[in-house]
């Protein structure tokens, strides 16, 4: 897939033809800055040595490829010869791709948030030569023009002058702030009131109580009309949807009362309504499929148009699991839609997944400025020219009339000017479904099935037309953590929708990670790989080692792959990576996992994540992984570690569980006990497959499924003392439903297994 139309014109801003050091990098974001007149350095020893030798401050600029305001600051400031001259004279200038180096990004974003109360990208920080921050912010306009905010040129001059005249004071100020950050970094997980006394042992809170509080906090912010939580801008927030589905399951498996049943159904309704409203909204790309980053309004209509792999991964899983609960075909169709987009537009032939597509693109060939959403939006006349074919039953109406009615396409555009401050979407339409198919079909005298076929033809024609437009930039780096999330998305869909093709796609991605994102000698994951100019997968000379989220998300992916395929090699590699994660990242004070391993001296502060956001926190995912592995492999040491991890975050979960809904899910799983279903039977036996298919029809988020395939070479026979005791009954494949390794009477038919699953109670 091309990164951009070859006929697109360059930006109107003059760009130096001379390349800087970033031309030797592989990150698409860093390469975007390779022609800047700024004397950029990548993060590394050369930059640090220069800063020390010349006693200069480092100007650190952190961003990522699809970031709109990163592009704006580049165009306004980094492409300016005048500003570049000031930067080059007074500072050592360093560019970092936050997606390549989340450990560096997190250190200095913590500083920005602590000193300004906010954060975002681009992140702009001035550092002493020993990498301590002294001044920071986010986007700065080039001149002093916005509401009293100093312009970038003014800041550069002022900070350079302060360093020249009073560097000791500035350095001391940075050191003091950093000490405060070091002290504070371990406090937030304790709820913000300070760490417990040394004599106190952190305790796990009650999962039931924490989940109830989390649910009530979500319920208060729930948008009854449009779905989602809170006000605009609205994000998918998959961690909230995952929690609601699991909270419902926990309630239904616990002590049944009228109140718990009502709460369970309300939790499901909140999740499903949100998913359906997002699917109808403009945040969903109805033509090219997949989802944009977020909605700028409260109605899911006008999105920020970038598409991120991690959103597709989590949404695919959410829609697939919601379908598993409800058997609603609409939800399954959206899951398929997302996976189609990823397989078509975010996939490398070798099996890896690219990171993102930009929001901005040129509106037409020959244009000199990019506009947000240009690749995705429509004007009415374009649609009418494209879809002029008359309806068979109503010759005075065309396909365009139907499409315009169904997707709310209007002559003057359907975008509220309040959502378009730069007039980039003036007279344009962002497709959104505001009316039911039944209503539209009735309006045009069509059967719903005929309408569906007509809309599908229209979408194909519109996609073909869109592909003739200049394409947005593709961030074609491969991130291990996001590839892990996407594997989980495909694996979840393979289970929930019964699609072997999704499992096959996930298998190719696992093989890609093992070949390109794993150092087999060190048995360590790498953070990233890249697409070379010839389309091959390439690596930098000194590969970036994986951070905590790479391990957590890949372990989760491998566990999901085991329960989708029952290939024991996935389980064995998951265990190996979990043990490596524990060795590299576990805090020796038994206080959870650090984001970074501590092996890089340039990462001057080791932090821990304490919030589930656009992605679940790695500590939250790790809690689930530890519990799952402890059940699947009967490792009590991993369960003990899970209990310690839950206890460390216990106070934070008790006070603000909405900050960690994914961890609350892990706590529910931990306190539900070891729940297993073991299917004993040859892998290819039709009766074995029927029992496994029965399990796939059910949403069982707290249950580990194991296949005892009667293969004498299965490594689990040597690992698990009781694995060989799961035998066939009357020579028939058999299901064992177990809780805390005590099993109910084994069953051999799907009907009997269905009865056991229906009667299963959570005794935790």
* Contact call for residues 637 and 682 (beta carbons, < 8 A): no
* 3-state secondary structure at position 59: strand
Q: Which pair of structure tokens corresponds to residue 572?
A: 């064995």
Q: How far is CA 64 from CA 29, 39, 443, in A?
A: 6, 19, 46
What's phi and psi for 51, nearest 5 deg?
-60, -40
* Contact call for residues 241 and 271 (beta carbons, < 8 A): yes
The order of strands in the sheet holding 742-743 is 703-708, 675-680, 734-739, 742-743
CA separation for the pair 240, 377 (Å, rounded):
29
The predicted structure's pLDDT at residue 229: 97
Boundary (domain end) residue, out of 184, 212, 238? 184
CA separation for the pair 752, 159 (Å, rounded):
74
- The gap between the terminal CA atoms of the chain, to the nearest Å, is 50
Q: Which pair of structure tokens corresponds to residue 625?
A: 């992984």
Of 173, 390, 431, residue with least CA distance to 280 = 431
Residue 590: which residues within 8 A CB-CB, separation 6 or more? 644, 648
Q: Which pair of structure tokens corresponds to residue 499?
A: 């699609």
* 3-state secondary structure at position 682: coil
Boundary (domain end) residue, out of 447, 468, 489? 468
* Contact call for residues 269 and 326 (beta carbons, < 8 A): no
The predicted structure's pLDDT at residue 17: 58
The predicted structure's pLDDT at residue 117: 81
Query: In this structure, are strands 675-680 and 703-708 parallel, antiparallel, or unpaired?
Result: parallel
Q: How far is CA 259 from CA 208, 604, 699, 733, in A?
A: 14, 50, 22, 39
Domain contains 614: no
Residue 220: which residues within 8 A CB-CB, separation 6 or more? none
Q: Residue 396 CB: number of other CB atoms within 10 A?
A: 7
Of 576, 678, 615, residue with least CA distance to 488 = 615
Q: Which pair of structure tokens corresponds to residue 648?
A: 């460390």
The order of strands in the sheet holding 537-538 is 477-479, 528-531, 537-538
Q: How far is CA 32 from CA 121, 269, 472, 528, in A?
A: 16, 44, 13, 18
Exposure on the CB side of residue 317, measured as CA atoms within 13 A? 28
* Contact call for residues 303 and 353 (beta carbons, < 8 A): no
CATH number of the domain that residue 690 is part of = 3.40.30.10
Residue 267: which residues within 8 A CB-CB, separation 6 or more? 215, 244, 245, 247, 248, 251
Domain contains 490: no
Domain contains 411: yes
* Contact call for residues 38 and 88 (beta carbons, < 8 A): yes
Domain contains 231: no
Q: How far is CA 342 from CA 241, 316, 475, 578, in A?
A: 21, 10, 13, 28
529: left (phi over 0), alpha (psi -120 to 50) or beta: beta
Domain contains 624: no
Torsion angle, CA of 479/480/485/486, rounded to 10 degrees?
Answer: 70
* 3-state secondary structure at position 466: helix
10-residue stretch averages of pLDDT, the chain, 764 residues long? 34 57 96 98 98 98 94 96 98 98 95 87 96 94 81 96 92 83 62 47 90 98 98 96 98 87 97 99 99 97 97 99 98 99 99 97 94 97 98 93 98 96 96 97 96 98 98 98 99 97 99 99 98 97 97 99 98 99 94 93 92 97 99 97 96 96 98 96 96 96 95 90 92 96 95 88 41
Q: Which pair of structure tokens corresponds to residue 252?
A: 């239904």
* Domain span holding position 431: 376-468
What's the burial of 721, exposed, middle or buried (CB within 10 Å: 0-12/13-18/19+)?
A: exposed
- Can you name the residues that pair with 360 across neighbouring β-strands? 372
Domain contains 751: yes
Domain contains 434: yes
What's phi and psi for 360, nearest 5 deg?
-95, 145
* Contact call for residues 372 and 68 (beta carbons, < 8 A): yes
Radius of gyration of the chain (CA): 27
CA separation for the pair 462, 387 (Å, rounded):
9
Boundary (domain end) residue, out of 435, 468, 501? 468
Domain contains 74: yes
CA separation for the pair 562, 504 (Å, rounded):
13
Structural domain total, the chain = 3
CA separation for the pair 7, 238 (Å, rounded):
38
CA separation for the pair 30, 101 (Å, rounded):
12
CA separation for the pair 263, 514 (Å, rounded):
43
* Contact call for residues 623 and 639 (beta carbons, < 8 A): no
The predicted structure's pLDDT at residue 297: 97
> What crossing angle do the helices spanning 661-671 and 636-648 adopt, rounded to 10°?
140
Q: Which pair of structure tokens corresponds to residue 527?
A: 């953070």
- Concatenated DSSP letters of 606-650: --------SS--HHHHHHHHHHHHHHHTT-HHHHHHHHHHHHHTH
């Amino acid at each position: 897939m091309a990164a951009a139309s070859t006929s697109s014109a360059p930006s109107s801003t003059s760009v130096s033809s001379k390349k800087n050091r970033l031309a030797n990098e592989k990150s698409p974001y860093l390469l975007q800055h390779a022609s800047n007149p700024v004397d950029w350095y990548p993060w590394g020893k050369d930059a640090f040595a220069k800063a020390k030798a010349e006693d200069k401050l480092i100007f650190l600029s952190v961003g990522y490829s699809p970031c709109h305001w990163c592009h704006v600051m580049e165009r306004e400031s980094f492409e300016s010869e005048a500003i570049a001259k000031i930067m080059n004279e007074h500072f050592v200038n360093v560019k970092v791709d936050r997606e390549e180096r989340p450990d560096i990004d997190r250190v200095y974003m913590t500083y920005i948030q602590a000193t300004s109360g906010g954060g975002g990208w681009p992140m702009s920080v001035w550092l002493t030569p020993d990498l301590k921050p002294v001044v920071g912010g986010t986007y700065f306009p080039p001149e002093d023009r916005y509401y009293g905010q100093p312009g970038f040129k003014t800041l550069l001059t002022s900070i350079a002058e302060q360093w020249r005249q009073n560097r000791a004071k500035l350095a001391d100020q940075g050191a003091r702030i950093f000490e405060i950050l070091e002290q504070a970094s371990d406090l937030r997980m304790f709820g913000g009131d300070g760490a417990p006394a040394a004599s106190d042992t952190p305790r796990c809170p009650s999962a039931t109580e924490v989940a109830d509080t989390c649910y009530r906090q979500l319920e208060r912010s729930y948008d009854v009309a449009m779905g989602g939580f809170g006000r605009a801008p609205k994000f998918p927030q998959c961690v909230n949807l995952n929690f609601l589905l699991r909270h419902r399951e926990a309630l239904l498996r616990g002590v049944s009362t009228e109140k718990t049943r009502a709460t369970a159904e309300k939790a499901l309704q909140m999740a499903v309504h949100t998913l359906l409203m997002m699917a109808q909204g403009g945040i969903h790309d109805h033509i090219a499929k997949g989802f944009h980053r977020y909605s700028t309004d409260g109605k899911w209509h006008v999105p920020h148009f970038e598409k991120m792999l991690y959103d597709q991964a989590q949404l695919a899983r959410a829609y697939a699991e919601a379908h598993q609960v409800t058997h609603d075909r609409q939800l399954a169709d959206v899951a398929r839609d997302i996976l189609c987009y990823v397989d078509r537009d975010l996939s490398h032939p070798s099996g890896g997944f690219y990171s993102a597509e930009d929001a901005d693109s040129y509106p037409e060939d020959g244009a000199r400025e990019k506009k947000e959403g240009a690749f995705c939006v429509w004007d009415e006349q374009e649609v009418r020219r494209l879809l002029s074919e008359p309806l068979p039953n109503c010759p005075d109406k065309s396909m365009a009339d139907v499409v315009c009615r169904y997707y709310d396409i209007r002559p003057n555009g359907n975008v509220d000017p309040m959502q378009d401050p730069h007039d980039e979407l003036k007279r344009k339409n962002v497709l959104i479904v505001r009316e039911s198919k039944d209503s539209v079909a009735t309006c045009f005298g069509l059967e719903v099935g005929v309408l569906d076929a007509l809309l599908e033809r229209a979408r194909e024609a519109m996609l073909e037309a869109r592909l003739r437009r200049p394409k947005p930039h593709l961030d074609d780096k491969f991130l291990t953590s996001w590839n892990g999330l996407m594997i989980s998305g495909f694996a979840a869909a393979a289970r929930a929708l019964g699609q072997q093709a999704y499992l096959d796609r996930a298998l190719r991605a696992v093989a890609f990670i093992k070949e390109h994102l794993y150092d087999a000698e060190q048995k360590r994951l790498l953070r990233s790989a890249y697409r070379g100019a010839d389309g091959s997968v390439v690596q930098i000379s000194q590969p970036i080692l994986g951070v905590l989220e790479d391990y957590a998300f890949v372990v989760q992916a491998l566990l999901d792959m085991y329960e989708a395929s029952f290939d024991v090699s996935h389980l064995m590699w998951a265990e190996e990576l979990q043990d490596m994660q524990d060795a590299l990242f576990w805090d020796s004070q038994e206080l959870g996992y650090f984001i970074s391993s501590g092996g890089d001296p340039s990462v001057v502060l080791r932090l821990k994540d304490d919030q589930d956001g656009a992605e679940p926190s790695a500590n939250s995912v790790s809690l689930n992984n530890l519990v799952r592995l402890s059940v699947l492999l009967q490792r009590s040491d991993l369960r003990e570690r899970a209990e310690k991890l839950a206890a460390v975050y216990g106070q934070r979960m008790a006070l603000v569980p909405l900050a960690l809904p994914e961890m609350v899910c892990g706590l529910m799983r931990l306190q539900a006990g070891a729940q297993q279903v073991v299917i004993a039977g040859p892998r290819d036996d039709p009766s074995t497959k029927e029992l496994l298919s029965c399990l796939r029809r059910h949403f069982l988020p707290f249950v580990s499924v194991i296949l005892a395939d009667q293969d004498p070479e299965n490594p689990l026979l040597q690992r698990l003392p009781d694995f060989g005791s799961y035998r066939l009954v009357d020579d028939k494949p058999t299901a064992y439903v177990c809780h805390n390794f005590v099993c109910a009477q084994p069953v051999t038919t799907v009907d009997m297994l269905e009865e056991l699953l229906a009667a299963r109670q959570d005794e935790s």
